[in-house]
Structure 1
Amino acid sequence: METILDKIIAKKREDIRNMTELTINDLDLSREKRSFIEKLRHTSEMAIISEFKRASPSKGIINANLNPAEQGALYESYGASAISVLTDVYFKGTFEDLKTVREAVNLPILCKDFMVERKQISHAKAAGADLILLIAAVHGKDALKELHEYAAELGLEVLVEIHDDEELEKAVSIGAELIGINNRNLKTFEVNLGTTEKLGPLVRQSGAFLISESGMKTREDVVRAAKAGANGILVGETFMSADNLKQTFRDFKVPLTVPQR
């Protein structure tokens, strides 16, 4: 049976068919590196990757009226450690959004997309990304390793996203330093914070930094992630729809429970 993820990946392969191939010579590899991993090494409170996301397949339009530069600047001023920008059409995103946020802030920028080929990673670098997302569920181990190594060659950090033990093994086998546990099942789009609670200790045992993704609505949710070993959280919908964004950031800045390595 075809899942939502299957449909998204099929559409993505179609969308990028005519995407321009960029070689390393086309890219500026001398740009100042903004490392999210270094931030994680030197913090005693939950790091926040705040996301610019206009829409999602499960929620539809979240907030179509926000300006990416203005929202990015607010995220930075309220204490975000990094900013994630959706560049996928399913989320009403573009690489132009990423470029706009890059110009507005001095934080590490995560290109959030369904990466299936190297040329997408090249375009993420060209648009100003410091990190990319690779979803373990989309790739076999060899393909995941190849894309992970190509991103590193371009000077990009990689958040490897997992949902279960098998995907965790895949992430660990390729030497992922940064692992994200997505509490949203990409086949059903149901959210369960218990996924971080189950897999979090295993991720930390591997030596990787842990980001808990999806489902953060309240301070209590963030505390649950911290107790499971999370170094950081990725939050989109809650920030994009917040009535009091500044206060929401304050609520989510909880102390880390598991010491940094």
Structure 2
Amino acid sequence: MGTILERILNEKRKEIKSLKELKRKEIKKETTYSLIQQLEQANTLSVIAEFKRASPSKGDINIHLNPAEQAKNYSENGAAAISVLTDATFFKGSFDDVRLVRDAVDIPILCKDFIIDQIQIDIAKENGANIILLIAAALTPSELSELYQYAKHQNLEVLMEVHDEEDVEKAFKVGPKLIGINNRNLKTFEVDLAVTERLAPSIQAFGSYVISESGIFTNMDAKRVSAAGASGVLVGEALMKSGDLTTSMKDLMVPNLKGAKQ
């Protein structure tokens, strides 16, 4: 059967063929919203609020929410950026969700997917994304570098995701300004915030902004990763399920401790 990541990547390779056959959209108006600029100016932990209907580990999270309405709620409650999960097979998302969110808000949008081909970057941009995710564990060093450079040439920011020391070394060779530490092991889907505590100091010393991803639900979780060196958090499930989004967002926006750039 392989790991969950291997299953996702196998499916993604099939999807690439279909994507290359799609009629392409024209970019009506290119937006240049920057997460890096948001992080430079923030004095609290920045929240990348995620629109995520489902996941392989949790099943359905909230499949009834409207992406545009949820995006507006995120923005109005102080989100620094919005992440939109576009994988269809495992997360029940789509690139159309990116377009719906783009039309609803004027803040940076992260297209979060398992990107392995330039076509995915093109389609993310065409639908209004400003940032794309590249997962170090899913790509060879040369693939990681090539896709990073391609995205930068498209005027997109790149959040490079790592989970362990090997991933961090791959990321450092490319040199991104944004490095996301996934507290979830993509092979087992187990979650541990200690991953951020272990990896953040070296990433911050390298000069990149740290975004802590997965397993962040409470004010204490936010304080913990901020103290470790995170400038931001990417939060999906907790916000998608929240009955009081204003309070949930406020709880996450703790003072920016070690995450602040000197």
Q: TM-score, normalised by structure 2?
A: 0.96
Distance in 2 of aligned mates of 1:27 and 1:125: 10
Map residues 232-251 of structure 1 onto 2, 5 A cutoff: 232-251=232-251
The number of residue pairs the alignment matches comes to 260
Match of 2:81 in 1: 82
In the other structure, the counterpart of 1:51 is: 50
Question: What residue is the counterpart of 2:105 in the other structure?
Answer: 105
Q: Tell me the residue number matched to 1:168.
A: 168
Q: Does 1:156 align with 2:172?
A: no
More off after superposition, 28-37 vs 171-180: 28-37
Which position in structure 2 is the counterpart of 1:121? 121
Deviation, 1:30, is: 6.5
Q: Name the structure 2 match of 1:253.
A: 253
Matched residue SS, 1:18: helix
**2:196 corresponds to:** 196
Deviates more, 1:242-251 or 1:187-196: 242-251
- Cα distance in 2, alignment partners of residues 234 and 86 from structure 1: 12
Deviation digits for residues 83-117 of structure 1 (CA, Å, limit 9, x no counterpart): 00010011100011110000000010000000010
| SS of residue matched to 2:18 | coil
| TM-fit CA distance, 1:31 | 1.7
Who is 2:219 aligned against? Answer: 219
Residues 167-186 of structure 1 mapped to structure 2, 5 A cutoff: 167-186=167-186
Percent identity, please.
Answer: 49
- Aligned residue for 1:66? 65
Deviates more, 1:8-17 or 1:48-57: 8-17
Amino acid across the alignment from 2:159: L
| 1:177–1:208 contact (8 Å) kept in structure 2 | yes
Give the AA of the match of 2:145.
Answer: K
Structure 1 gap ranges (5+): none
Match of 2:31 in 1: 32
Aligned counterpart, 1:132: 132
Q: What's the RMSD between the two structures over aligned residues?
A: 1.7
With over 3 angstroms needed to count, the CA separation of the structure-2 counterparts of 1:65 and 1:141, relative to structure 1, is same
Q: In 1, are the aligned partners of 2:31 and 2:128 still within 8 Å (CA)? A: no
Deviation at 1:15, TM superposition (A): 1.5
Cα separation, 2, equivalents of 1:228 and 1:220 = 12
Secondary structure, aligned partner of 1:225: helix
Q: State whether residues 76 and 107 of structure 1, in contact with CA within 8 Å, keep that contact through their aligned partners in structure 2.
A: yes
- What SS does structure 2 have at the residue aligned with 1:91? coil
Q: Secondary structure at the match of 1:184?
A: coil
User: 1: CA distance between counterparts of 2:94 and 2:231?
Assistant: 28
Deviation at 1:29, TM superposition (A): 9.4
Code of the residue aligned with 2:14 in structure 1: it is E
1:181·1:213 contact (CA, 8 Å) conserved in 2?
yes
SS where residue 155 of structure 1 aligns?
coil
TM-score (norm 1): 0.96
CA distance in 2, matches of 1:29, 1:45: 34
CA shift at 1:28, angstroms? 3.9
2:3 counterpart residue number: 3
